């Protein structure tokens, strides 16, 4: 079995590679700037003609791509290339918000790619994680000043460690396809206010959650984060869904597939205590 890992230099794809190595399973990485190495192939989702040659001899694909306003179109092109080149099984990294009715935020883009995958005739597995713990690092500078600013209201999230998602992906890539959708969460849900309490305990100083009105967040987030407005708006849409409880139900999927419990938010905070404790110096 030859596995192609797209998004191979990303936070999930990189861990997928390591998890496959640990299983003794060979992989080939896909990158726009591939190293001069036999384990890597060069292709770019934004250049569809580059995809087919990269799929020569590939039987199984891990499909992950960066946030993009045309992410659905780019992934559908990759799915079509996989089908045309005889790929047997695609494991797609999606988002929990793709399973909402209707899909919202980034999930709307993922839902369209999921549909194309289901209709492709290939075997498929879809992974729908909730909010990554690693995404909390984007709040690190603000947390260092004692504020966790997120327009989530009292909504709870069963935060998941991206590394657990990657290990589930590696398991899915190396076993028979089930044409299944897996919603992936951490072991329990907590609100951002409760998360601020966890951070306060870990850092030994107060951290409070501030949930601004979403119309204010839409104006301010692009400026504070440097994200383009289309992406910032999708983030706010996700926060709105979270405020209504969209990601508040833990599942046992990680434990069933990996045979161990997923990582906890306490473990993540302890591991990244230094990042949350120190504000970056002004440039």
pLDDT in tens, 190-206: 999 999 999 999 999 99
Which two tokens mark 185?
């969460």
Please tell me the distance from the alpha carbon of residue 164 to that of residue 93, in angstroms, as a whole number: 13
Of residues 37 and 219, more confidence is placed in: 219
- In 50-125, alpha helices (H): 51-54, 71-84, 106-118
What is the pTM (predicted TM-score) of this model? 0.95
264: pLDDT strictly greater than 50: yes
Q: For residue range 72-103, list pLDDT tens digits in order.
A: 999 999 999 999 999 999 999 999 999 999 99
Please tell me the distance from the alpha carbon of residue 173 to that of residue 175, in angstroms, as a whole number: 6
Q: For residue range 17-32, list pLDDT tens digits in order.
A: 999 999 999 999 999 8
283: pLDDT strictly greater than 70: no
Q: Per CATH, is 3-130+162-184+249-262 categorized as 3.40.50.720? A: yes
Q: For residue range 209-258, list pLDDT tens digits in order.
A: 999 999 999 999 988 888 999 999 999 999 999 999 999 999 999 999 99
By the 8 A CB rule, do 246 and 112 touch?
Answer: no
Question: What is the chain's mean pLDDT, rounded?
Answer: 95
Residue percentage of the chain with pLDDT more than 70? 98
Domain layout of the chain by residue ranges: 3-130+162-184+249-262
CA angle 206/212/214 to nearest 5° reads 150
pLDDT band at 282 (very low <50, low <70, confident <90, very high): very low
């Amino acid at each position: 079995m030859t596995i192609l890992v797209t998004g191979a230099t990303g936070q999930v794809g990189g861990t997928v590679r390591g998890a496959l190595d640990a299983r003794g399973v060979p992989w080939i990485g896909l990158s726009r700037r591939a190293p001069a190495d036999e384990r890597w192939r060069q292709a770019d989702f934004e250049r569809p003609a580059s995809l087919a040659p990269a799929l020569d001899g590939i039987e199984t694909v891990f499909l992950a791509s960066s946030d993009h306003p045309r992410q659905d179109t780019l992934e559908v092109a990759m799915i079509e290339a996989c089908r045309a080149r005889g790929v047997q099984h695609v494991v797609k990294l999606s988002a929990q918000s793709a399973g909402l009715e209707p899909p919202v935020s980034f999930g709307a883009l993922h839902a369209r790619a999921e549909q194309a995958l289901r209709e492709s005739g290939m075997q498929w597995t879809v992974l729908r994680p909730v909010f990554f713990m690693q995404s909390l690092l984007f709040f690190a500078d603000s947390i260092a000043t004692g504020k966790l600013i997120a327009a989530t209201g009292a909504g709870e999230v069963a935060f998941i460690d991206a590394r657990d998602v990657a290990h589930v992906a590696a398991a899915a890539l190396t076993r028979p396809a089930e044409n299944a959708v897996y919603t992936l969460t951490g072991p329990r849900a907590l609100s951002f206010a409760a998360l601020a309490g966890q951070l306060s305990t870990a850092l030994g100083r107060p951290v409070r959650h501030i949930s601004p009105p979403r119309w204010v967040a839409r104006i301010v987030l692009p400026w504070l984060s440097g994200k383009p407005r289309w992406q910032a708006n999708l983030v706010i849409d996700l926060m709105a869904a979270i405020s209504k409880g969209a990601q508040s139900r833990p599942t046992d999927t990680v434990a069933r597939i990996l045979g161990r419990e997923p990582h906890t938010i306490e473990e993540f905070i302890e591991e990244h205590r230094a990042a949350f404790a120190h504000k970056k110096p002004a440039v």
